[in-house]
Structure 1
Amino acid sequence: MDDLIRLLIQNERIIGNKNKNLKLTKEEAHYLNKVMRIKIGREIFITNGQGSLWKAKKLEQNFLEINNIDNPYFVQEKEKVSLGIAVVVPKNGFEDILKMCTEIGIDLIQPLFSERQVKNNSNFLKRNIRWNSIINEAVEQSERLWRPLILGGVNLIDWIDSRDSKDIISISITRDDSSENLNHWLKRKQNLLKKNGGVLWNVVGPEGGWSRNEIEFFLKNKISFVKLSETILRTSTATVNATSILNQWRNDLKLNNYL
């Protein structure tokens, strides 16, 4: 595939331009003109974050010409198994979590708050604009065609109660020798997941660990505990590690023609 600069643009804006000329937003124009210094007449790739890729040509400072809108340059099918990471938002490092999990290949990101959260992040709505911008930049940088979805922040227990019955959830935990390694747990769940077609989630807790009430809730609801490492990981490290394990598991299934 050609090595061209990529720009993520909402699908509605792409397909809505029947005249083939797409007007750039102020931020998009700044990125192409000032940051990447794309000259008039040069080609770039644009993606809708929903699996499609088009070639576009810069016409002038604020416009792109898209050829063959109804026939994209490349189309990638959506993954048959969706991977989700749910994480109690830490005091520091959440933006790095968004970048790295997007680059690795997560499909859904669920910000949570819990009893032992260092800082109550109740202003999720205000921060959501920045978080989405960070994800967009990571999609462009990593050349992903499917953009992960970041969901609205919610209380941990409320979130679990609202999950689809097809979803499969594991809870990352430390200092519990009886917990199964996430890799081993995934191998046992692959037949069930293929049958149900839900989202496979791993939940990463706060720096202070899960509270007694939360542990009792997990046990009552028969949610599996898993461990990510033999060492104690910070929330940001644990989240990226879990995402990497999930993505490698899915890639192995595809390599072996299981998915």
Structure 2
Amino acid sequence: MQRYFIEKNHIEADKVCIYGKDHHHMKNVMRFKPGDQVVVNTYDGFVYLAQILDFAKDYTELSLIKSMEAKNINYHLDLGLSLTKKDAFELALKKITELGVSGIIPLETERSIINIKDYEKKKERYLTILKESAEQSERNQIPLIYDITQIGDLNTKIYDYLFVAYAREDHMTLKSQLTEIKSSDKVLVVIGPEGGFSKTEIKNLKEKGFVSVSLGDTILRAETAAMYIASVFRFMVGE
């Protein structure tokens, strides 16, 4: 069933109004009619079955029918994803949202080929991608996306485990490192750009407590690595 995220303050009694792009989507893309049912989801994780009452010029009015059970993801994985070309980075955002990541940290690295000057504008687009992917995959919470961060500025104190995906050395596989992780642990995995992290960056990451892990014998693109990590983590820890 189609899902839409809403601001909690848009709920009054048992009614809710949906505005903007979602109103347009309901009315002109999905072509819903009064009486059709959808799921509405507040940004803080409450989920309701709702019925469309009417379409006004600027909003859609719905009636809340009942509360629904929220499907909470029972693990915490953040990915530090180095800035790459637009299409690759945005594809990674879509897929890792579907796969259950909790947060994304865009990383500016020595070998980053993208220089984002107006990040606040770009962040709005990223948030839209995350929202739409969460709706499509029926998540009841949208992953957080942080400000652009450099390696030296990563806040590692909030995590129980720190990993760096690095393909230039012989080291333990990601899978072998996940066997001891509990669903209550907070984990951060960082992924390099095209060309990988520099030796200096790897040294700095290890000094901050990161453990090198291998993603296998082949070299993966950054967006593929992000999807692989999210998939393996979901399989090993989440399920």
- TM, length-normalised to structure 1: 0.84
User: Which residues of structure 1 form unaligned runs of 5+?
Assistant: 253-259
Q: After superposition, what is the alpha-carbon deviation per residue over 1:38-59, rounded to whole angstroms, capped at 9, x for unaligned?
A: 0012111111244332011111
Report which of the two has the higher share of helix.
1
Q: After superposition, what is the alpha-carbon deviation per residue over 1:156-214, rounded to whole angstroms, capped at 9, x for unaligned?
A: 2211xx2225431100001212x1100001114x2xx56xx552111101112111221
Residue equivalent to 1:36: 30
Q: 2:13 aligned with 1:13, yes or no?
A: no
Paired with 2:134 and 2:206, the residues of 1 have a C-alpha distance of 37
1:239 maps to a residue whose letter is A
Report which of the two has the higher share of strand.
2
Describe how 1:51-70 pairs up with structure 2 within 5 A.
Answer: 51-61=45-55, 62-67=59-64
Instruction: Identify which of 164, 168, 184 aligns with 2:161.
Output: 168
Residue equivalent to 1:257: none
User: Which residues of structure 2 form unaligned runs of 5+?
Assistant: none
| 8 A contact 2:54–2:62 mirrored in 1 | no
Paired with 2:112 and 2:92, the residues of 1 have a C-alpha distance of 16
Paired with 2:164 and 2:64, the residues of 1 have a C-alpha distance of 47
Deviates more, 1:118-127 or 1:89-98: 118-127
Identity of paired residues, percent? Answer: 26
Q: 2:151 aligned with 1:182, yes or no?
A: no
Residue equivalent to 2:41: 47
Match of 2:79, SS state, is: strand
Match of 1:206, SS state, is: coil
Paired with 2:151 and 2:207, the residues of 1 have a C-alpha distance of 15
Match of 2:213, SS state, is: strand
Q: After superposition, what is the alpha-carbon deviation per residue over 1:107-145, rounded to whole angstroms, capped at 9, x for unaligned?
A: 111111111111223432220001000111111111112
| 8 A contact 1:51–1:76 mirrored in 2 | no
- TM, length-normalised to structure 2: 0.90
Report the Cα offset of residue 76 of structure 1: 3.5
Q: Number of matched residues? A: 235
| 8 A contact 2:178–2:237 mirrored in 1 | no
Report the Cα offset of residue 65 of structure 1: 2.7
The 1:223/1:103 distance shift into structure 2, 3 A limit, reads: same
Residue equivalent to 2:84: 90
Paired with 1:24 and 1:166, the residues of 2 have a C-alpha distance of 37
RMSD: 1.9
